[in-house]
Structure formats: C-alpha cells, structure tokens
Amino acid sequence: MKTLAKLAAVGASGALLAGIGAGVASADGPESDNATVTVAVDQASTFALDSPTIDLGHGLAGMSVTGTDGYQVTTNDPNGWAVQVSGSDFVGPETFPIGTLQLGGSPVTATPSTDDSDNKPTPVAGTHVNDHFAMTIPNVRVGAYQSTLTYNFVPG
C-alpha cells in the first residue's frame, strides 16, 4: 500500500537490512568496498468505517429491525490486531439498554468486548469485517432513540 511506504522511517524496530556491494572482485580486478543499507519500517495502522451511522429503521414494539455496518483495518504489526466494540444506552423520550442491540447474535455491551481479531498482520490491502445488527424494539414511548457505538482498533 503506497501510504505505508510513505510512512517508512529510519530508526524504528522491525528494521529491514540489505547488504549491497558484497565485495566480490575478480582475481586481477580491484577490490570493492562493502556498503550496508538499512531502513526501518514503523508500525502503521488504519481503521475505516463503512458508514458513520446505522439506521435501524422503525417499527412497533416487539418487531425486529436490522442494520449493517462494516470496517476495514490494516496493520503491519506481525502480532496481529483486535477490534473491540462497545455502545451507549439508547436515549430518546426515555432510555433503554444497549444490550437490546444484538451484534452477531450477542448483546452489545457498555464495556468493550472483542468483535474480531487476528494473530497476524492484515494483507497490505486490508481486512474488511461486516457487522450485522438486530434489535427487537422494546416497549417504550414513541419517539426517536439514539445510541453511539465505539470501535477500538488495537494493533498488536
């Protein structure tokens, strides 16, 4: 990915080492000097949401509504990555708990929990994850309700 290349810098760990000019010379030719070229590649990570909002639509109490969102992550950390997700309670004319919202069949929690992870770096082009949300509309007063989901991308 070109942006990773842009961020290459000297002085970090994860150094790449290349030797050039190995000093090979013919028996009757002049000997050459050796030169060592080093470059260090910094850790770089990206996180991109497909959409900043999820619209679950509307319905009556007891009805099921669904929505989707996704994200793409990239990291060159050889130890991989993890994404944790948490959410705030829905606020409107009254409140109801974030656990009403299901992510992949499990309730979303107020404290971050692992959404997805891998133990190796992403491909250079990145890894994309789709999240599927569902909710059974609770028996609350009529109105619009909002919550905020927070994704934490943790390289390493």
Partner 1 sequence: MPVPQIATFKLAAAPAATIAHGSAHETLIVANEGKHVQSIAGVMQSYMRVGGRCVLTRSDGSKWGKITPSHFKLGPNTSREVHVALTVPHGAKGQHDLLASFFGQVPGHGSVHVRGSVGSLLDVKLPGKSNACISLSAPVTHGGSPLVAIIIGVAVVAVLATVGVILRSRRNRRNKSVVS
Q: Which amino acid is at 3?
A: T
3-state secondary structure of 36: strand
* CB of 10 vs partner 1, minimal distance in Å: 8
Q: Is 50 in the site for partner 1 (CB under 8 A)?
A: yes
DSSP of 56-115? -----TT-EEEEEEEEEEEE--TT-EEEEEEEPPEESSSEE-GGGEEETTEE--SS-EEE
Name the residue nearer to partner 1 (CB basis): 142 or 144. Answer: 144
Contact mark string toward partner 1, 61..90, x via CB under 8 A: ------x-xxxx----xxxx-x-x--x--x
List the structure tokens of 100: 């009403």
- Residue list 91-150, contact with partner 1 (CB under 8 A): 101, 103-106, 111-119, 122-123, 125-133, 144-150
Closest by CA to 87, choosing from 119, 57, 56, is 56
Name the residue nearer to partner 1 (CB basis): 34 or 130. Answer: 130
HSE, side-chain direction, 13 A CA sphere, residue 105:
0
- Residue list 20-39, contact with partner 1 (CB under 8 A): none
* CB of 65 vs partner 1, minimal distance in Å: 9
